[in-house]
Amino acid sequence: METLEGGEFCFPQLLNISCRKPVQHHAETVFIYILLSSISLLTVTLNLLVVISISHFRQLHTSTNLLLLSLAVSDFLVGFVLMPIQILLIGGCWVLGSFVCGLFYYASFILTSASVGNMVLISVDRYVAICDPLQYPTKVTPRRVRVCVCLCWAFSVFYNGLILNDFLKHPDRYNSCYGECIIEVDHIKGAVDALLTFIGPITVIVVLYMRVFVVAVSQAHTMRSHIASVTYQRSQTVTALKSEVKAARTLGIVIVVFLICFCPYFYPSLESQDISINIAFSVWVLYFNSCLNPLIYTFFYPWFRKSIRLIAAFYIMKPDSCNVSLM
C-alpha cells in the first residue's frame, strides 16, 4: 500500500508499525465510493434475479439453465462479498485482520475460477446442442450437469488452495506495515494460473463457439439451397439468417468482454512478472465481468425478461406460480 507523508495513521495507537492513510481528495473518494457501490448493487441485483428465476420456475429447470444458475451464484457472491470488501480498501487501511485478509483473497480466487469454469461448461453445452442436437438429450442430462458443476467448484477450491498455500499459512507475510492486506504470487505460479484460468479456458471457448458458428452458417446455407419460391419458406429463411447474425453478435460479445475483463489481471503473469494485488484497477475490471455476465447470458432470453416482470409484481408469492409458462 502506498503511504504518503502527512497522512494519518491507520492505527494511531500503534505508531511504530501502523500504515499511513493515503492522502485523498474528498470529492474523488466520494465519487469512487458511489460508483463502485452502484456496480456492486447492480451485480447483486441482476444475478439474484437470475437465481430466483431459474430456481423458482419449473419450466426453467433445464440442463443449460443449471449452468446459468451456477454462473449466477458465483457472480452474485462476487457482488455480495468481494466487491464490498474491496470498497473498504479504498480508505487505505485494512481493519479486518490477517485471517480475514487470507480468506478474502482465497474466496476471490475461488469465485473467479468457478465463474470461468462455468463459462467453459456453457460453451460445451451450446456446442453439443448445436453440433449434435439428436444426441443432446442423452449426452447432456441434468444429473451430468450437476456433477460437472460440483466438480467445477471442487476443483476451484482445491486448485486455488494449492496456489495460495503459502499465503494462507501466513496471510500477513507480504505486508510492510500493520493495516495492509496484500498478496503476491510469484511468476511461476502466476504463469500456471494464467494458463489454467485464462489461456486454456479462452482457447476452449473460442474453438467451440467458432465450431458452433461454422455449423450454424452451414445449416443456413443448406436451408437456402432447398428454398422453394414460397413466401412462407422465404420468411423462414430470413428468420434463420437473423438468428445467425444474432449468434455471431453474441459470440463476439462473449469473447471480447471476457478478454477485456481478464487481460489486465493476467497480463503480469504473461509477462513473467510477480503479481501484486491491492486496490487495483485490474481487480475491479475482473469483478465487473460478474456484472456483465447476466446481461450477456440472460438478457438475450425472452423468458428472463418475463420472469423479471413476474418477480417485480410479486407474482411468485402466489400458489402454483412456479408452473407458469415463460416461453
Q: How far is CA 281 from CA 42, 96, 265, 288, in A?
A: 19, 22, 9, 11
Give the CA-trace dihedral at 130, 250, 53, 42, to 10 degrees. Answer: 160
Q: Looking at the domain assignment, is residue 233 inside a domain?
A: yes
Residue 4 reports pLDDT greater than 50: no
How far apart are the C-alpha atoms of 283 and 10, rounded to whole Å?
Answer: 23
Question: pTM score, two decimals?
Answer: 0.83
Beta strands in the chain (DSSP E): 183-185, 275-277
Task: Give the mean pLDDT of 231-239.
Answer: 50
How far apart are the C-alpha atoms of 174 and 170, rounded to whole Å?
Answer: 9
Q: Looking at the domain assignment, is residue 11 inside a domain?
A: no
Q: Which residues make Cβ contacts (< 8 Å) with residue 298, sequence separation at least 6?
A: 50, 68, 72, 304
**Which helix or strand (DSSP H or E) is residue 244 part of?**
helix 231-270
Residue 150 reports pLDDT greater than 50: yes
pLDDT at 298: 67
Instruction: Please work out, in degrees rounded to the nearest 5, the angle formed at the alpha carbon of residue 114 by the alpha carbons of 87 and 51.
Output: 80
More confident residue, 178 or 41: 41
pLDDT at 278: 42
Task: Give the mean pLDDT of 272-288.
Answer: 65
pLDDT at 2: 41
Q: Residue 91 — left, alpha, or beta (φ > 0 → left; ψ -120 to 50 → alpha)?
A: alpha
Q: How confident is the model at residue 325 (pLDDT cuts 50, 70, 90)?
A: confident
Q: Looking at the domain assignment, is residue 8 inside a domain?
A: no
Residue 279 reports pLDDT greater than 50: no
Reading the block at residue 79, the C-alpha cell is 457482488
Domain extent, residue 149, equals: 24-323
SS3 content of the chain, % helix, strand, coil (to 5): 75, 5, 20
Reading the block at residue 238, the C-alpha cell is 430470413
Q: Looking at the domain assignment, is residue 188 inside a domain?
A: yes
Residue 81 reports pLDDT greater than 90: yes
Is the separation of the CB atoms in 118 and 69 below 8 Å?
no
pLDDT at 15: 67
pLDDT at 202: 84
More confident residue, 146 or 304: 146
Cα–Cα nearest to 279, from 4, 75, 7, 2: 2
Q: Looking at the domain assignment, is residue 1 inside a domain?
A: no
Burial 146-169 (b: 16+ CB within 10 A, else e): eebbeebbeebeebbeebbeebbe
Q: What mean pLDDT, rounded, does the chain reach?
A: 79
Q: Which residue reads 486455488 in cell numbers?
A: 160
Q: How many domains are there within the chain?
A: 1
Is the separation of the CB atoms in 187 and 269 below 8 Å?
yes
CATH assignment of the domain containing 307 = 1.20.1070.10
Is the separation of the CB atoms in 290 and 115 below 8 Å?
yes
Q: Looking at the domain assignment, is residue 55 inside a domain?
A: yes
Q: Looking at the domain assignment, is residue 270 inside a domain?
A: yes
Q: Looking at the domain assignment, is residue 186 inside a domain?
A: yes
pLDDT at 183: 81
Is the separation of the CB atoms in 123 and 258 below 8 Å?
no
